[in-house]
Amino acid sequence: MPTVPPPDDCPLFIHRGLQEGSINERIEKKLVKGRQIATLDKTVGDGQTLMWARIPGVIQGVDASALAVLGDYIPLGVSQALGIRGGGNSLDNTLRVVRLVPTEWVLLDIRIHAIDRGFAHGLVHMYAEDGTLMATASQSCIVRFWKDEVPTDKEVS
């Protein structure tokens, strides 16, 4: 597990325009490495985003279904890697559960491996607070820009 501060020492990740009743409204995220959406300025990142996440009040404890939800954060990593307000629509994803252990927070180590011609691929390693690797997930997605974000020619070619 990467060396990171505990969740209580990390700032809350502010998600854009949460839709009432959506799962994103229920997931609490603390940013370890990355940028807040409001500060994304098209400066390309290094492809790694680290954040703590939990789903209080929805799923008791962390089980495979909770990890499946958290494993769907590759598009957030795409946004961070490109430095844009956007993300992606999932084409496929795979979850590999390694070992479930009691934990409140899950560290998401999101790595974007490739972005080209409107598609992206990456993975996320999911760690318990004690450092146990609980699961790994991979995902391919179509890169999407939010309506207020206009892609450059380089980003869509």
Q: Tell me the per-residue pLDDT of 84-102, one tens digit each, with 9 for 90 and over.
A: 888 888 899 999 999 999 9
Tens-digit pLDDT profile for residues 34-49: 999 888 999 999 999 9
Residue 53 CA to residue 124 CA, distance in Å, equals 12
Range of the domain at 104: 7-148
Residue 109 CA to residue 43 CA, distance in Å, equals 20
* CATH number where 52 lies: 3.10.129.10
Q: Which of 8, 29, 9 is nearest to 18 (CA)?
A: 29
pLDDT higher than threshold 90 for residue 150? no
Tens-digit pLDDT profile for residues 99-121: 999 999 999 999 999 999 999 99
Residue 156 lies in a domain: no
Residue 1 lies in a domain: no
Listed in sequence order, the residues at least 6 apart from 141 whose beta carbon sits closer than 8 Å to its beta carbon are 74, 75, 78, 87, 88, 89, 90, 91, 119, 120, 121
Q: Quick one: average pLDDT of 120-136?
A: 97
pLDDT higher than threshold 90 for residue 18? no
pLDDT band at 156 (very low <50, low <70, confident <90, very high): very low
